[in-house]
Chains A and B, each alone.
Chain A
Amino acid sequence: MRRTPLVIVGAGILLAFVPRLGLPAFYDSLLYLVLHWVVLATSWNILSGYAGYFSFGHGAFFGAGLYTTTTLLARYEWPFLWTLPVAALVAAVLGVALGAVVFRVKSVRGELFALLTLAVTFVIGTIVVNTPLDGGQGVSLSSVPVPTVGRSQSATFYLLALAAATLTLLIAWAIFVSKLGAGLFAIHDDEDAAEVMGVPTYRYKLIALAISCALAGMAGGIHALFLSYVTVGEVFTITVPLTVVLMSVLGGTRHWAGPAVGAVAITALMYSFTAADHAVAGKAAIGLILIAAILFMPDGILLRVQRLFRGRAPVGGPHPSSLPQAGERAGAREPGEDHPLPLAGEGRGEGVRSPTIVAGNVILRARGLHKSFKGVRALAGVDVEVRQGEILGLLGPNGSGKSTFINVVSGHYRATSGEIVFEGRSLVDEPAHRIAAAGIARTYQIPRPFAHLSVLENVALATMFGGAAADPRQAEREAMTWLEFTGLEGKALARPADLNLHQRKFLELARALASRPRLVLLDEVLCGLTPSEIDDAVALIRRIRDQGSTIVFVEHVMRAVMALTDRVVVFNHGELLAEGGATEVMQRPEVVTAYLGKAHA
């Protein structure tokens, strides 16, 4: 994989010799445009393709960079090349300012984010057109000298665009294979689950947006001089964002090179039509291609082609060309046997405290926990203690508050009032990803794996963001350990959709364990399983406890509860009804009534 940056740079150097071929200026300009769109589409993809926040505002940032350069050149007579970093900076600042506000509003995602960014484009465009920045007449840059980087003007622009494109592709690739990229792809599939898993979603989105805008701004700066006469109408419109969307969707948004493929294809197509005097037909063709792409190839060309060549289940996102080896081992073994398993709590990254805990001590204490939803009281003041190393069962009839309790402790919901103290640290107002980092992990009743990532990547993500591994390579090695622990190593490269329910539940378990939590919260992990699968799961849960984790689980399958738990607590109507050993508690009259009901008076 590390060859890739060399390939990119090598190609860049090679292509730098093209102007020497002495082709007519038309070709230099055409190639400039191809590279120009490569930069725009690839930069757009860094936020929108990777993280799924489709922005229709790329024109605004491109335009901001363009007008920054224009103003600096026309008014202040800066040397051209110095305007480019400023253009990039202005665009980035604009983007971050926008993102800082918008990313805080949880419900602005998907179509709403697209519309909002489009609106911003028009607002900025209107401001530019009405102020001395443009003034409505456009700005002429014809008197500005073009630096002699190449043999001719058109060659110069070509080389500038080539440098920009090379830089952009390198950055896109670097993000793609980094922890940032893995986090962005997780956000794409399931932002809330990613947050709970420890991905700092807000920060990552802002970083991606800033980089995306900076690159677009730089492209804008170059383009300003290329055009030599800039107008608002060319820039602050719907055309730029729609074109980059088309190019990226066509080429494939889940790969760093996808937008570039789309950019080359579309630009070439547009020009072949223009050259043949069929510009109108060209537009129609592009529209038809987009329609066909959405209907038949929603994942894009690149992944389709990859599938053809690789011949196995495609994974969108960085993946290893070979399986990492988890430690020194020879051959497959029974999961859980002879395994030097990382002990819960060992080897965690910075920011996590691992105080020594004496077995039997209380590690989690919830006091007076309340949670209301729009007037419905799901938790009405519960006090629960969890002791180190135990398996605690949470029981109760439907709607009694068990799942709500897990959701509040893991940070999926914020408690209305009450306190939660874990290993001496108050967690009650912390965001989900900090709770995850503190050593608590959870599974979901209906498994929520990241659909576009492979099984291995799913677990690796949990490892990386749970603090147990620093970079994707190490994370994948760790992840293999957990896959072997749960018996899923044979499915490492498969997508979650290819697993059956039993395997998906075990994947959930592997993900929960990958961050080496000290407390594991399981939410109805056994429902839907056959009796023999339940036996497997029970054995696995025991092994999890044996290697050092404390387990709290919500369950209805009573024989599993009887077999596994050291203690149970019974919820009813949001309150704690009973507590103690399972067999004894389940025979108490008030518990029997809660479950079976009461004859009415």
Chain B
Amino acid sequence: MPGFTLPSASLLAQSILSGIFVGALYGLMGLGLSLSWGLLRLINLAHFAFAFLAAYVSYQLAVAGIDPLLSLVVVVPAFFAIGAGLHWVMARFAVTPFNSLLLTFGLMGVIEAGIQGVWTADFRKLESVYSHMKFKVGVLYVPIPELITLVLAVGFSFGVWAVLRYTDLGKALRAAAEDAPIAAAFGIDQKRNALLLAGTCTALAGIAGVCLALSFTLAPAQIYAWVGVVFAAVMLGGLGRALAPLIAGTLIGVSEAVTMAVTAPSWAPIVSFTLLIFVLLLRPGRAA
């Protein structure tokens, strides 16, 4: 039986806070995945590899002295193009939703190998001006890199939400996801919109990657550590929604953190995966 120890209030509060931070990153990583799966019916496992690729790119730029936030200027357009390109290929070959899972897994392997080839399997840590900055709020420590992640996650989630909710493009995407032929009958060019969306999803992966690099040590094998928990966040919240991955991710992050504080860190994965199993069994109608 795992040992249960009740932590002090401040330790618990700090745990919850760090759970919120890591949950925000889960949400940011899950955002692009959820949109792609829900609105485009494509499951992009390579999403994680793209995030890591962006992380390594910003690491490299940091080594050259460039501020990681500035590296977004390069990362966002580059990854947008990659995402749109990948979607174009999959549409061209009429890849089914299930085969998209397999194909992007292959791509994930290729990218991982590429990363390892360039940066080796050694651990890399991005050192920036933010790395050691933190400030104190009462008894709680708030590290700056994690705070940046939270801000970006919340910002982009709300941004995407607003686009989906209020703009014509967002409405068109939602309509086409529901009934593509009728959407086309009203002039919606889904081919073009899908490319835009796919590009955006990968760009979001890139942004998540930069955030990842700010807070975590990088190693190629680490890509897989995120797959399960981010999928759990995506499915918990329901596909194709903008705010749901963030909320679900935060829930998972906090649950994990509390579990870790109360028992042992190695029990953390059980939280997200058990949640995922229950969601799949009890509310499968929410997905695709």
Contact = CB atoms under 8 A, between A and B. Distances in A.
Interface of A: 54, 101-102, 105, 107-108, 110-112, 114-116, 118-120, 122-123, 125-127, 129-130, 136, 237-239, 242, 245-246, 249, 280-284, 286-291, 293-295, 298
Contact of B117 (A115, A280, A286): A280
B113 A116 contact: no
A123 B270 contact: yes
Contact of B113 (A130, A283, A295, A298): A283
Given A110-B98, A136-B266, A293-B106, 18 more contacts: A102-B281, A108-B280, A111-B43, A111-B97, A111-B101, A114-B101, A115-B235, A115-B276, A116-B281, A119-B277, A237-B224, A238-B228, A281-B117, A283-B110, A287-B107, A294-B106, A295-B89, A298-B99
B97 A110 contact: yes
A20 to B, nearest CB: 38
Interface string B85-109: 0000100010101110111011111
Contacts of A287: 105-113
B103 A290 contact: yes
B270 A127 contact: yes
Contacts of A107: 284-285
B102 A249 contact: yes
A105 B98 CA distance: 19
Interface residues of B, number: 44
A193 to B, nearest CB: 19
10 contacts: A119-B276, A238-B228, A242-B105, A246-B105, A280-B117, A283-B116, A287-B110, A287-B111, A294-B99, A295-B93
B47 to A, nearest CB: 14
B103 A130 contact: no
A295 B95 contact: yes
Contacts of B227: 238
Contact of A290 (B106, B111, B112): B106
Contacts of B280: 108, 112, 115-116, 119
B219 interface: no
Contacts of B266: 126, 129-130, 136
Interface of B: 2, 43, 89, 93, 95, 97-99, 101-103, 105-114, 116-117, 224, 227-228, 231-232, 235, 264, 266-267, 269-270, 273-274, 276-277, 280-281, 284-285, 287-288
Contacts of A127: 270
A294 B102 contact: yes
B284 A122 contact: no
**Dominant SS among interface residues on chain B:** helix
A116 B287 contact: no
B149 to A, nearest CB: 24
B98 A238 contact: no
Contacts of B112: 283, 287
Given A111-B98, A114-B101, A245-B102, A283 B281 contact: no
- Choose among A119, A249, A282 the residue with the greatest number of B CB atoms under 10 Å from its CB: A119
A102 B282 CA distance: 10
Given A112-B284, A294-B95, A126 B102 contact: no
Contacts of A114: 98, 101
Nearest to B95: A294
Q: Which one of B98, B106, B285 has the highest number of Cβ atoms from chain A below 10 Å of its Cβ?
A: B106
Contact of A288 (B106, B116, B235): B106
Contacts of A246: 105-106
Nearest to A233: B221
A136 B267 CA distance: 11
A46 to B, nearest CB: 19
Contacts of B264: 130
Contacts of B273: 119-120, 122-123, 126
A108 B106 contact: no
Contacts of B43: 111
Given A111-B97, A123-B270, A126-B267, A281 B113 contact: yes
B43 to A, nearest CB: 6
B61 to A, nearest CB: 23
A115 B284 CA distance: 12
Contacts of A291: 103, 106-107, 110
B258 to A, nearest CB: 16
A289 B116 CA distance: 18
A116 B113 CA distance: 27
A13 to B, nearest CB: 36
Nearest to A104: B281
A387 to B, nearest CB: 42
Contacts of A293: 106
Contacts of A125: 269
Nearest to A118: B228
A587 to B, nearest CB: 40
B103 A294 contact: yes
A286 B111 CA distance: 11
A89 B231 CA distance: 31
Closest 9 CB pairs of A and B: A287-B109, A290-B106, A284-B113, A287-B110, A283-B113, A291-B106, A107-B284, A294-B103, A119-B273
